């Protein structure tokens, strides 16, 4: 989650939601998920602008040791805010930061609180992000026992010099070992995250990373172009001319390399930056985001969305801890999405999916733009005939440009 919070309306102190968020009695409940933001890292990576803190950055006040209790307090608040309605949880996702910096027992306690308050569906997907250097077989076994079903490792690259520029501390090969350890611990679903376009990375480095990923046989891969965020160490080094800014054409080539290799390795794209072995391997939690479902984001800086109301928590762990301990909502601000906002969000999110976006979302000008996009080879013509906008490979690389035209 990027560190800058949006501007919005003030949020009420008890976290209560307007009636509109709950829909009418006849409306079907959208799927419901939980996101838990763990805002701690052992050290900060040079490219990262997420809401995360090292022990040194935090100072006193909000500690990792009391974090599980804070998160559980917010989960109980969520129950109060959502009332007595039956909202079984389909997916839970622990992200960060580095969730696995906490003891496995803490993660387990937080998950248990969600289960106790809301109930988990029998086939619920429960994921945690993990840094390859912060887990071992015993830890993973503990997670599996606690009810986790899926792991997402930040591998980033198979090359030491690339990891070094990113300030990642694991050794090449460690992420692949993690996949084997996770399998041994009984995890069926494992993701590896990759980053391409790091300054100094060559095509050959990238190919090596892709080969290494496929050799490890995860059932899911996320591959992201490195985003240079303002205020990060990498941004500073680029500005000073110490390392080169990755060129957009190079990034385009790397994306094509990734899609080719991953497809050949049996992983098909289902979102612009995500590939999975089959339908069951997709990250259902992320699919909730992309299809406008409801989710509660617990933890400092986390975003939530319930029925067209989106809010975000205070960023810093200390005020966060104080608020939830006092039984107050940690929300800093919120927005009420208009019908048009929700239409625009659906276009910008669903267009990124292989399942595509229904053409019924488009107005006249957007539809004309979609027709032109088919002509230009950006949208699949046969899917278009089925009333769906689905990006071609070329279109995936220009998704934002297509969205700009389609929302008109």
**Does 305 interact with other proteins (rule: CB under 8 A)?**
yes
Q: How far is CA 249 from the centre of its chain?
A: 25
Q: Minimum Å distance from CB 4 to other proteins?
A: 7
Phi, psi of 17 (to 5 degrees): -110, 150
Q: Minimum Å distance from CB 328 to other proteins?
A: 21
CA distance 175 to 324: 35
Closer residue to other proteins (CB): 168 or 396? 396
**Does 393 interact with other proteins (rule: CB under 8 A)?**
no
Q: Minimum Å distance from CB 257 to other proteins?
A: 13
x/- site string to other proteins, residues 371 to 390, per CB under 8 A?
A: -----x-x------------
Three-class SS of residue 128?
A: strand
**Does 133 interact with other proteins (rule: CB under 8 A)?**
no
Closer residue to other proteins (CB): 144 or 334? 334
Closer residue to other proteins (CB): 89 or 185? 89
Among 136, 145, 203, 400, binds other proteins (CB under 8 A): 400
x/- site string to other proteins, residues 221 to 240, per CB under 8 A?
A: ---xxxx-------------
Closer residue to other proteins (CB): 218 or 299? 299
Q: Minimum Å distance from CB 6 to other proteins?
A: 4
CA distance 82 to 15: 10
Q: CB-based contacts of 395: which residues, under 8 Å, 6+ apart? A: 373, 377, 378, 379, 402
**Does 121 interact with other proteins (rule: CB under 8 A)?**
no
**Does 15 interact with other proteins (rule: CB under 8 A)?**
no
CA distance 376 to 378: 6
CA distance 114 to 380: 41
Closer residue to other proteins (CB): 49 or 219? 49
Q: Minimum Å distance from CB 223 to other proteins?
A: 8
Burial zone of 51 (CB within 10 Å; 0-12 exposed, 13-18 middle, 19+ buried): buried
The two three-digit tokens of residue 228, written as one number: 């240079």
Residues 239-258 that bind other proteins (CB under 8 A): 248-249, 251-252, 255
The CA-atom distances, in angstroms, between 287 and each of 90, 101, 143, 193 are 11, 26, 23, 17
x/- site string to other proteins, residues 316 to 355, per CB under 8 A?
A: -------------------x-----x--xx--xx--x---
The CA-atom distances, in angstroms, between 326 and each of 61, 74, 186, 319, 356 are 15, 10, 39, 11, 44
Q: Minimum Å distance from CB 289 to other proteins?
A: 5
Q: Minimum Å distance from CB 401 to other proteins?
A: 4
Q: Minimum Å distance from CB 30 to other proteins?
A: 14
Q: Minimum Å distance from CB 380 to other proteins?
A: 16
CA distance 252 to 245: 14
**Does 184 interact with other proteins (rule: CB under 8 A)?**
no
x/- site string to other proteins, residues 270 to 299, per CB under 8 A?
A: --xx------------x--xx----x-x--
Q: Minimum Å distance from CB 304 to other proteins?
A: 8
Place of tokens 């990060």: 232
**Does 161 interact with other proteins (rule: CB under 8 A)?**
no
The two three-digit tokens of residue 140, written as one number: 């993973």
Q: No. of H helices and E strands in the chain? A: 16, 14
Q: How far is CA 163 from the centre of its chain?
A: 21
Length reported for the chain: 408
Closer residue to other proteins (CB): 181 or 270? 270
Closer residue to other proteins (CB): 139 or 289? 289
CA distance 238 to 105: 41
The CA-atom distances, in angstroms, between 144 and each of 171, 184, 221, 387 are 25, 11, 21, 42
CA distance 290 to 28: 18
**Does 367 interact with other proteins (rule: CB under 8 A)?**
no
Residues lying near other proteins in the complex (CB under 8 A): 1-2, 4, 6, 8, 35, 224-227, 248-249, 251-252, 255, 272-273, 286, 289-290, 295, 297, 301-303, 305, 310, 312, 335, 341, 344-345, 348-349, 352, 376, 378, 396-401, 403-404, 407-408
């Amino acid at each position: 989650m990027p560190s800058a919070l949006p501007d919005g309306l003030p949020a009420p102190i008890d976290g209560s939601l307007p009636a509109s968020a709950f829909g009418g009695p006849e409306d079907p409940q959208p799927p419901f998920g939980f996101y838990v933001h763990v805002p701690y890292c052992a050290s900060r990576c040079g490219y990262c602008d997420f809401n995360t803190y090292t022990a040194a950055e935090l100072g006193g006040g909000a500690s990792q040791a009391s974090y599980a209790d804070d998160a559980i307090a917010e989960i109980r608040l969520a129950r109060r805010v959502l009332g007595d309605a039956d909202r079984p949880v389909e997916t839970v996702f622990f992200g960060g930061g580095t969730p696995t910096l906490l003891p496995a027992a803490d993660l387990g306690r937080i998950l248990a609180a969600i289960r106790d308050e809301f109930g988990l569906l029998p086939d619920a997907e429960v994921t945690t992000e993990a840094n390859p250097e912060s887990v071992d077989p015993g830890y993973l076994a503990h997670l599996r026992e606690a009810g986790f079903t899926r792991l997402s490792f930040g591998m980033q690259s198979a090359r030491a010099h690339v990891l070094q520029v990113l300030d990642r501390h694991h050794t090449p090969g460690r992420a692949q070992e993690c996949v084997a350890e996770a399998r041994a611990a009984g995890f069926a679903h494992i993701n590896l995250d990759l980053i391409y376009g790091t300054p100094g990375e060559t095509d050959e480095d990238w190919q090596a990373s892709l080969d290494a990923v496929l050799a490890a046989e995860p059932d899911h891969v996320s591959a992201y172009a490195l985003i240079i965020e303002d205020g990060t160490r990498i941004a500073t080094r680029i500005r000073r001319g110490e390392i080169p800014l990755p060129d957009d054409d190079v990034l385009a080539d790397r994306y094509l390399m990734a899609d080719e290799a991953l497809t050949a390795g049996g992983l098909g794209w289902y979102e612009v930056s995500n590939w999975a072995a089959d339908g069951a391997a997709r990250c259902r939690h992320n699919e909730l985001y992309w299809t406008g479902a409801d989710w509660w984001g617990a933890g400092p800086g986390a975003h939530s969305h319930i029925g067209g109301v989106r809010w975000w928590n205070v960023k810093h762990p200390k005020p966060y801890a104080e608020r939830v301990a006092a039984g107050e909502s940690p929300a800093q601000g919120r927005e009420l999405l208009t019908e048009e906002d929700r239409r625009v969000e659906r276009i910008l999110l669903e267009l990124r999916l292989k399942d595509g976006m229904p053409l019924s979302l488009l107005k006249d000008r957007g539809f004309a733009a979609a027709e032109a996009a088919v002509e230009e080879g950006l949208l699949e013509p046969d899917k278009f005939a089925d009333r769906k906008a689905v990006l071609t490979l070329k279109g995936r690389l220009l998704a934002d440009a297509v969205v700009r035209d389609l929302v008109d």
